[in-house]
């Protein structure tokens, strides 16, 4: 990391009164990524100083789509209902080209209870997350710019400029969630490799007069001048397009493609017409000592697939519980290496996919366009490849099976590094029911012992008791729960249908260790307590 005090070289005066008690983490950037990270850290008792260069929140921002994976995150934070009330469900994606429907994707088949994307403007997402942050005791320090960052004692000394004055804050870690021109990344000397996307983008909001299809969808029209319509509340659309020239009429550009596919339709009540440029970039590393990068500061991709904001939210959710464990003295700092090991491959995947999509959307060669359309038709007509496309759209295909803190029996349906499904229903003797993943606690790891049809009742009871003790004795584990396919086990456990156990690949007694981010850290079909001890040592001591 570059040993820099400030861009001007002037050492700012220390003014700790401005920030109160010394925070553990400096979070730079109060977009969705920074807000979620700061809020989750505060909820876990890790104090943050969250700054943003803007004097106030944006009144409009162009990101729109919230994917099912992000809705699962919001559910675990207790925010899903707020997002569902604010947004518009996008249940289907229909791909057109030159007046023809090439195929469609039904998102209800994605494998989540959230069988849809959610359409809402990014400033609404930020508003909900800001309210959540305040409830956790945090706040956003606005009109505040990071101008210096250097190692200091066992952490960092950050120089921050606000209202023409500078102050310093001593922190243990800093996380840059501060976008394309990230001061955190630049002051740390971390490279940002990639390229600018050659063809410009534009966007506006509008209603469509003469629309004759569902208002709960996403509609890519891949004509020579492509547009993408994403549904917003109130039967409105966010329209993404590729302008025909630097000074063209954006609405006229989009209308020509719209009418080629929906004759007689027109855009009305147009708002926020904006041009913008995009990049495909991934930071050379996501961690440099006490400095981390997340969201757009770590990776940038085309908006065509809608993965930018959503991936940033997942970065933050992945990093928060790890920083908390280390800060509280329960885990060694080596645990923090797993953040880059898990999240950087995801960034590489979405940027590579985005570049392919960019080329497919913008090609003007007739032969290439014909081949592209034929490929889309074949892909969306085949159930196997359609399923993969739906999972990728929902971001439910992301797993951490290559992580250094993931291990266990991997030859089953639910592998270590996969996310626990959110569709499995569990019943209790009092008649109540909950979904399996909601038995997990939000702060620590949850031990889940599942009894399949071949489970030995005596062994299950003994293991269940030992797991309950482990959950009490270890700072890593928050709770232990038992679920089985038999209602006759001599302990109070939940009941699931045998088909659900089959979905999980459970025959005998299987232990799943569910991480705070919903992913399976350990699967043990045998030697449960020994494997649990190994897992605990791996996470806590490295």
Neighbouring C-alpha atoms within 13 Å toward the C-beta of 248: 19
Query: CA of 270: how far to CAs of 267, 385, 441, in Å?
Result: 7, 37, 45
pLDDT at 21: 55
Domains of the chain: 16-62+121-192+282-362 (3.50.50.60), 87-119+198-277 (3.30.9.10), 407-541 (3.40.30.10)
Listed range (103-107, 159-163, 369-373, 492-496) with the worst mean pLDDT: 492-496
- Contact (Cβ atoms closer than 8 angstroms) between residue 208 and residue 237: yes
pLDDT at 368: 96
Q: Average of pLDDT values for 494-509?
A: 94
| Cα–Cα dist 152/198, whole Å | 41
Other CB atoms within 10 Å distance of the CB of residue 264? 9
Residue 151 has pLDDT above 90, yes or no: yes
pLDDT at 1: 58
- Contact (Cβ atoms closer than 8 angstroms) between residue 326 and residue 155: no
Closest CA to 35 of 117, 138, 109, 119: 138
| Cα–Cα dist 127/146, whole Å | 23
Residue 5 has pLDDT above 70, yes or no: no
- At 441, the pLDDT band (50, 70, 90 cuts) reads confident
| Cα–Cα dist 349/96, whole Å | 25
- Contact (Cβ atoms closer than 8 angstroms) between residue 136 and residue 120: no
The whole-model pTM stands at: 0.94
Residue 2 has pLDDT above 70, yes or no: no
Tens digits of per-residue pLDDT, 189-227?
A: 999 999 999 999 999 999 999 999 999 999 999 999 999
pLDDT at 118: 98
- At 453, the pLDDT band (50, 70, 90 cuts) reads very high
Tens digits of per-residue pLDDT, 73-120?
A: 999 999 999 999 999 999 999 999 999 999 999 999 999 999 999 999
Tens digits of per-residue pLDDT, 254-272?
A: 999 999 999 999 999 999 9
| Cα–Cα dist 90/393, whole Å | 12
| Cα–Cα dist 532/511, whole Å | 9
- Contact (Cβ atoms closer than 8 angstroms) between residue 299 and residue 313: no
Task: Count Cβ neighbours within 10 Å for each residue of 204-235 and write b for 16 or more, e otherwise.
Answer: bbbbbeebeeebbbbbbbbbbbbbbbbbbbee
Residue 18 has pLDDT above 60, yes or no: no
- Contact (Cβ atoms closer than 8 angstroms) between residue 34 and residue 48: no
Closest CA to 101 of 217, 266, 207, 203: 217
- Taking all residues of the chain, what is their mean pLDDT, rounded to a whole number? 93
| Cα–Cα dist 259/266, whole Å | 7
Listed range (1-5, 15-19, 64-68, 453-457) with the worst mean pLDDT: 15-19
Tens digits of per-residue pLDDT, 289-323?
A: 999 999 999 999 999 999 999 999 999 999 999 99
Residue 57 has pLDDT above 70, yes or no: yes
Identify the bridge partners of residue 145 per DSSP, sorted by sequence position. Answer: 161
pLDDT at 16: 41
pLDDT at 360: 95
Q: Average of pLDDT values for 327-341?
A: 96
Tens digits of per-residue pLDDT, 31-52?
A: 999 999 999 999 999 999 999 9
Residue 11 has pLDDT above 80, yes or no: no
pLDDT at 488: 86
pLDDT at 188: 97
| Cα–Cα dist 68/91, whole Å | 11
């Amino acid at each position: 990391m570059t040993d820099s005090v400030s861009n001007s070289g002037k050492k700012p005066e220390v003014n700790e009164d401005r920030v109160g008690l010394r925070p553990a983490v400096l979070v730079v950037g109060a977009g969705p990524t920074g807000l979620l990270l700061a809020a989750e850290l505060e909820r876990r008792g890790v104090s943050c100083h969250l700054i943003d260069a803007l004097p106030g929140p944006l009144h409009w921002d162009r990101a729109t789509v919230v994917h099912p994976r992000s809705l699962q995150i919001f559910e675990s934070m207790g925010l899903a209902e707020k997002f569902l009330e604010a947004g518009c469900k996008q249940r289907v994606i229909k791909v057109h080209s030159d007046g023809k429907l090439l195929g469609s994707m039904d998102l209800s088949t994605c494998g989540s209870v959230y069988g849809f994307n959610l359409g809402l403007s990014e400033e609404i997402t930020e508003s909900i997350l800001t309210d959540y942050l305040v409830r956790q005791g945090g706040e956003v320090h606005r009109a505040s710019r990071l101008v210096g960052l250097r190692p200091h004692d066992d952490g960092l000394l950050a120089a921050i400029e606000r209202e023409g004055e500078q102050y310093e804050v001593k922190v243990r870690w800093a996380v840059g969630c501060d976008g394309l021109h990230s001061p955190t990344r630049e002051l740390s000397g971390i490279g940002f490799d990639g390229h600018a996307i050659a063809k410009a983008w534009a966007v506006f909001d509008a209603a469509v007069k003469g629309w004759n299809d569902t208002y709960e969808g996403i509609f890519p029209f891949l004509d020579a001048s492509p547009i993408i319509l994403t549904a917003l509340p109130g039967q409105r659309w966010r329209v993404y397009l590729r302008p025909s020239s630097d000074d063209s009429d954006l609405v006229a550009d989009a209308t020509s493609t719209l009418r080629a596919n929906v004759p007689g339709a027109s855009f009305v009540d147009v708002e926020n017409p904006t041009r913008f440029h995009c990049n495909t970039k991934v930071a050379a590393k996501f961690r440099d000592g006490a400095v981390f990068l997340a969201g757009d500061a770590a990776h940038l991709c085309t908006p065509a697939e809608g993965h930018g904001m959503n991936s940033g939210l997942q970065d933050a959710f992945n990093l928060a519980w790890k920083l908390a464990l280390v800060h509280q003295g329960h885990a060694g700092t080596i645990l923090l290496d797993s953040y880059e090991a898990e999240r950087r491959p995801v960034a590489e995947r979405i940027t590579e996919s985005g570049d392919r999509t960019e080329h497919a959307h913008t090609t003007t060669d007739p032969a290439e366009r014909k081949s592209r359309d034929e490929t889309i038709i074949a892909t969306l007509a085949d159930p196997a490849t359609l399923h993969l496309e739906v999972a990728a759209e929902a971001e439910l295909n992301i797993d951490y099976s290559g992580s250094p803190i993931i291990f266990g029996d991997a030859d089953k349906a639910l592998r270590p590094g996969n996310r626990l499904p959110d569709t499995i229903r569990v019943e209790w003797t009092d008649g109540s029911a909950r979904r399996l993943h909601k038995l997990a606690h939000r702060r620590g790891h949850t031990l889940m012992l599942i009894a399949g049809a071949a489970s030995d009742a005596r062994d299950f009871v003994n293991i269940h008791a030992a797991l309950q003790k482990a959950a009490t004795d270890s700072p890593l584990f928050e709770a232990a729960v038992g679920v089985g396919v038999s209602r006759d086990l001599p302990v109070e456990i939940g009941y699931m249908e045998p088909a659900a156990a089959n979905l999980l690949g459970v025959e005998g007694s299987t232990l799943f260790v569910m991480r705070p981010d919903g992913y399976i850290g350990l699967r043990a079909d045998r030697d449960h307590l020994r494997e649990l001890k190994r897992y605990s040592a791996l996470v806590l001591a490295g």
